[in-house]
Amino acid sequence: MAAIRVLVVCTANLCRSPMAEGILKSKLSAQAKDIKVKVESRGISVPVAGLKADPRAVRVSQRNGVDLGKMRTRQLKPRELRQADYVLVMNQRHLTVLAEMCDGDMPAGASLITLFASEPVRDQEVPDPYYSTEQGFASVFDLLSEALDGFVAHLQIQK
């Protein structure tokens, strides 16, 4: 059985998508060891490839038992969209960019990451914490964690 390929996408691959990648890997390892999933994060507009995640994202994640130490920024490529089973994005603008990258067709499996969350956050956009405080990063971590609980449950139902 081939692994399910999941891409988590944000703008620069510095804050939200690395946190989401780390959270999802952690949840899968704890709750869904029987499901083969390959999780990676990318950015739609990465200024410099190979940068470490934002230090605030690293600290907040670490306090929550999630290690982002090995993650580096990577630019999203159109071929990766075709290879992914799920593409989880942070806001509507990201969905628009994905459609543009695929000549106007939304990639299969692309959605807001919060689609998998419970109410009242379902379909809410995940704010970019880059210009906020560490508390802003903590709030984003909590929102991503809630959404990814739902995503893991979705994967368990699908298997």
Residues marked active site are found at: 10, 16, 128
**Is-contact 120 113, C-beta < 8 A?**
no
Strands 86-89 and 37-43, sheet pairing: unpaired
To which residue do tokens 């390929």 refer?
5
Per the structure block, which two tokens stand in for 28?
Answer: 């899968």
**Is-contact 155 35, C-beta < 8 A?**
yes
In angstroms, the Cα distances linking 93 to 10, 61, 80 are 10, 25, 18
Query: Measuring CA to CA, which residue among 22, 9, 31, 15 is closest to residue 78?
Result: 9
